[in-house]
């Protein structure tokens, strides 16, 4: 690969492409369970509460492993080795999902997947941040994060439902596991270990990160607020992706193609917004983007609840309001990483993802599943709407971190 920073074939661009695929596969593999659940539930005799419990516990172990292994990578500086290992493990867990024969075995396999997938995002984004030019930092991190919507939200419902309908739900898991193994091999061969970020003393001497520096991450205002917003955002996203397929199948007369179109277009618009939101924030600042996007996102579940019986209105609503999720990469990755020293970027990102997954990623789907069984299939939509509203309110406490705003010191005070 070229070392010329003006060449398309330089390492920075290769890194963004391969990391895009890594993050996309994490969410394709993880979210696929909700999309093929209508095929699985009759064979394994499962209900909505069990789906919510499976998704929720996967989120708990996803979050626990996120902080443990990402923090370990900050101290050890062995990000490449750990990333390759986890990519192989979550791909194998995806493959094993196709051989489960009971609810317990399904739960255990998905917990293993959560453990392996948890550290991937902070490892990926800390590597991307270390290798990105400053003017492209938000754009690069946004491109990588947007893969969660393109591959997890757009391709996953279309591909997994089509594979399950044509070859059976078990074969669909076997097939979607293969790309992860291939990407793992590419990372093993071509990925460089990023240069370890160091802490500088007052005399500008390089010193090793200390425990005090580490615990200082958790006292940073932006990190805590990002965690709260991330909790609500994860509750919002996982509740929608887990229960919309089942709601459409059970509460409407839509066929499989129509359901796939609705979910695919929603994911596509989330991808577009996650791609464009961080890029715009490189120019206008992080805070304006997260406020506008989080406000728009509130209306996505509300409009689905109000229009789900009318296919045309529902389609328009999902396309228009799905763009609100453009603030997700900023909250989960960019702002936490920019609010602390580069030495602990993986730790700050992992802490936000940890709390988001354990609280939002578990409580949201579990609560939504219980309400879906006891009240109606549309009840999860109001869980998502409430989470969206709380996210928007909390954005008013975030302090600006964009490099373009560094000429304004009052905008970049991020500590408590």
> What pLDDT score was predicted for residue 416?
43
What does the pLDDT look like over 43-97, one tens digit per residue? 888 887 888 788 778 877 887 887 787 777 766 667 888 899 999 999 999 999 9
Report which secondary-structure segment, H or E, holds 365. Answer: helix 361-374
The answer to whether residue 416 sits within a structural domain is no
Q: Using alpha carbons only, give the angle 397, 398, 401 rounded to the nearest 5 degrees.
A: 155
Q: For residue 412, what pLDDT is reported?
A: 40
Residue 409: per-residue pLDDT: 45
Query: What is the DSSP secondary structure assignment for residue 285, as one 8-state letter?
Result: -
pLDDT digits (tens, 9 = 90+) for 284-334: 888 999 999 999 999 999 999 998 888 889 999 988 999 998 898 899 888
CATH number at residue 282: 1.20.1250.20
Q: What is the percent of the chain where pLDDT is above 70?
A: 89
Q: What is the pLDDT of residue 204?
A: 44
Judge whether residue 6 has pLDDT over 80: no
> Which pLDDT band holds residue 254 (cuts at 50, 70, 90)?
confident
Domain that holds residue 37: 11-193+212-411
Identify the CA nearest to 325 among candidates 388, 282, 380, 248. 388
User: What is the per-residue pLDDT for 300?
Assistant: 94
Residue 95 falls inside a structural domain: yes
- Rounded to two decimals, the pTM is 0.71
Separation of alpha carbons 414 and 158, rounded Å: 41
Transcribe 131-184 into DSSP letters. HS-GGGHHHHHHHHHHHHHIIIIIIHHHHHHHHHHHH-HHHHHHHHHHHHHHHH
Amino acid 108: pLDDT: 92
**Integer Cα distance of 66 and 353 in angstroms:** 7
Give the span between the Cα atoms of 215 and 341, in whole angstroms.
12
Residues 6+ apart with CB under 8 A from 144: 16, 19, 20, 23, 124, 125, 128, 329
pLDDT confidence tier of residue 413, bands split at 50, 70 and 90 = very low
Count up the domains in the chain and report the number. Answer: 1
Contact between 55 and 32 (Cβ < 8 Å): no
**pLDDT above 60: residue 407:** no
pLDDT beyond 60 at 4: no
pLDDT of residue 208: 56
Collect all residues with Cβ–Cβ distance below 8 Å to 55 and sequence separation of at least 6.
Answer: 33, 34, 110, 238, 242, 361, 365, 366
Residue 201 lies in a domain: no
Q: How far apart are CA 34 and CA 48, in angstroms?
A: 10
Position 242 in a domain: yes
- Residue 204 in any domain: the answer is no
**Per-residue pLDDT at 410 exceeds 50:** no
Within-domain flag for 276? yes
Task: Confirm whether 2 is domain-assigned.
Answer: no
Tell me which range, 157-171, 173-187, 202-216, 233-247, is most confidently predicted by mean pLDDT: 173-187
Within a domain: 149: yes
Which pLDDT value is given to residue 247?
82
Q: Helix, strand or coil for residue 88?
A: helix
Segment 129-143 mean pLDDT: 79
Half-sphere CA count of 278, side-chain side, radius 13 A: 25
β-strand partners of 2: 10
> Would you say residue 390 has pLDDT above 90?
yes
Q: What is the mean pLDDT of residues 98-112?
A: 90
For the chain, first and last CA: distance in Å? 43
Mean pLDDT (the chain, rounded): 82
């Amino acid at each position: 690969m070229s070392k010329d920073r003006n060449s398309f074939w330089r390492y920075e661009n290769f890194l963004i492409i391969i990391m895009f695929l890594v993050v996309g596969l994490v969410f394709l593999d993880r979210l696929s369970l909700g999309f093929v659940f209508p095929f699985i539930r009759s064979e394994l005799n499962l209900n909505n509460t069990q789906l919510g419990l499976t998704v929720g516990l996967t989120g708990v172990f996803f979050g626990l492993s996120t902080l443990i292994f990402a923090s370990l990578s900050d101290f050890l500086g062995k990000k490449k080795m750990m990333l390759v290992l986890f990519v192989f493990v979550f791909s194998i867990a995806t493959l094993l999902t196709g051989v489960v024969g009971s609810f317990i075995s399904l739960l255990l396999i998905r917990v293993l997947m959560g453990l392996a997938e948890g550290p991937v995002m902070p490892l990926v984004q800390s590597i991307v941040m270390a290798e990105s030019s400053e003017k492209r930092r938000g754009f690069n991190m946004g491109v990588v994060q947007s893969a969660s919507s393109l591959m997890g939200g757009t391709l996953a419902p279309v591909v997994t439902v089509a594979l399950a309908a044509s070859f059976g739900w078990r074969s669909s898991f076997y097939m979607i596991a293969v790309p992860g193994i291939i990407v793992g091999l590419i990372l093993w061969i071509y990925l460089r270990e990023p240069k370890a970020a160091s802490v500088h003393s007052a005399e500008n001497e390089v010193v090793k990160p200390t425990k005090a520096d580490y615990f200082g991450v958790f006292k940073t205002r932006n990190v805590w607020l990002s965690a709260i917003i991330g909790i609500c955002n994860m509750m919002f996203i996982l509740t929608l992706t887990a229960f919309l397929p089942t709601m459409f199948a059970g509460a409407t007369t839509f066929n499989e193609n129509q359901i796939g179109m609705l979910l695919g277009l929603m994911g596509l618009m989330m991808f577009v917004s996650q791609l464009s939101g961080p890029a715009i924030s490189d120019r206008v600042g992080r805070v304006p983007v997260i406020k506008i996007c989080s406000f728009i996102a509130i209306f996505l579940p509300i409009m689905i609840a109000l229009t789900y019986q009318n296919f045309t209105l529902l389609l328009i609503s999902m396309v228009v309001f799905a763009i609100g999720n453009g603030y997700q990469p900023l909250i989960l990755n960019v702002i936490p990483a920019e609010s602390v020293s580069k030495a602990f970027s993986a730790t700050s990102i992992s802490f936000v993802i940890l709390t988001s997954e354990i609280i939002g990623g578990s409580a949201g789907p579990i609560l939504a599943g219980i309400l879906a069984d006891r009240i109606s299939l549309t009840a999860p939509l109001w869980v998502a709407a409430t989470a969206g509203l709380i996210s928007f309110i909390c954005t008013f406490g975030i302090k600006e971190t964009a490099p373009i705003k560094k000429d304004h010191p009052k905008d970049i005070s991020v500590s408590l």
